[in-house]
Amino acid sequence: MAFSFTVIKKDSSSSARVGRLVTAHGVVETPAFMPVGTQGAVKAVSPRELEEIGCQILLGNTYHLYLRPGVEVVRELGGLHRFMGWERPILTDSGGFQVFSLGAMRKITEDGVRFQSHLDGSSHVLTPESVVEIQEALGSDIAMVLDECIPHPASREYVIASTERTARWAERSLKARSREDQALFAILQGGMYEDLRTECARRMTPLPFDGFAVGGLGVGEAEELLHSMAEFSAALLPEARPRYLMGVGRPEDIIHAVSSGYDLFDCVLPTRNARTGTLFTSAGKMNIKRAEYAKDPRPADESCDCYCCRRFSRAYLRHLYQAGEILASCLLTLHNLRFYHRLMEKLRQAIREGRFETWSKNTQGKMQNAN
């Protein structure tokens, strides 16, 4: 099945929209949140549970899967979908963020990136071409080009050189692709400089990419700058193709980004926070470790329909966490991911019904009061 994206409904008061993303492994209604399954698994939850909470698409990571178990293992066993038992769409990140976070263990050249594995110190090279080849072997539905995630703060000279190289790498990635059933997304960089992001978009948007991502945000900048730069960047991208805001995942940031016209999101927050005892609820964040929950018979979130909230009390969840039981991570992760998917469902419904502006203000107001 060929990849396609259709805007179904636009909001009249913002740039928010509901879309339909068609891939070889199914349809994704957007805006959509992608749980992070870095190594071919979303930590502490099974594929069946992900389906039950409404997950439409997962994110996998090229860097980690390349190192372990190895791309040939995945290819020989039928591709990433079969390997991990997930029949719905998968987007694979290029691994650029992981490589560039290695610091002294990597060296950037025009050809690509030479790095040492964090697992055993062995030396490897990723190029724009090899990253496309790896993702085609994995068989994901959406592949990402190799880019450099620019740190913040960074000098203008550094950002210019990095962004120009990222644009050249994107052009090389297009030439390397060979699978017609796999979409390829480019990544807009440019740091916190509007003119550099504009120039990057000018070079990339005429090219036949299936979608565009915005990278280099959510890297330590202030909230106001994150929102303004995300909004500015979205406006540079074609309306007819999906827009993906990479790695930004606080609920309030997602709502703001949806109003700017983004369609896809990923973040480790819901899963990572769950493993440290923090729950996202309709009344704000909850730290289940607190002593006040030791005898609390209520569910974590009385408005939530997930298995965790239907079945277990705050007292029991606290007990599991304090006792170090693996089940604590499983249940808390399940709840947090359901919270995110319910948020996206409500977003889409509000846009369809023409009440996104009111819903957005009310929801963000509750979040601010709760926090």
| Catalytic one of 11, 141, 253, 266 | 266
What gap in Å lies between CA 7 and CA 13, rounded to an integer?
16
Q: At 168, phi and psi to the nearest 5?
A: -65, -40
- Is residue 141 part of the annotated active site? The answer reads no
HSE of 120, CA atoms in CB hemisphere, 13 A: 5
| Catalytic one of 93, 147, 210, 263 | 93
What gap in Å lies between CA 54 and CA 291, rounded to an integer?
32
Assign 174 to helix, strand or coil.
helix
Measure the N-to-C terminal CA separation of the chain; round to a whole number of Å: 45
Bridging pattern class, strands 4-10 and 17-23 = antiparallel
Bridging pattern class, strands 58-61 and 32-34 = unpaired
DSSP 105-158: GEEE-SS-EEEE-TTT--EEEE-HHHHHHHHHHHT-SEEE-------SS--HHH
What gap in Å lies between CA 341 and CA 275, rounded to an integer?
18
What gap in Å lies between CA 233 and CA 227, rounded to an integer?
10
- Is residue 266 part of the annotated active site? The answer reads yes
E-only strand ranges, the chain: 4-10, 17-23, 26-30, 32-34, 58-61, 90-93, 106-108, 113-116, 123-126, 142-144, 183-188, 211-214, 243-245, 264-266, 278-281, 284-287
Contact 337, 50 (CB under 8 A): yes
Which residues form the catalytic set? 93, 266
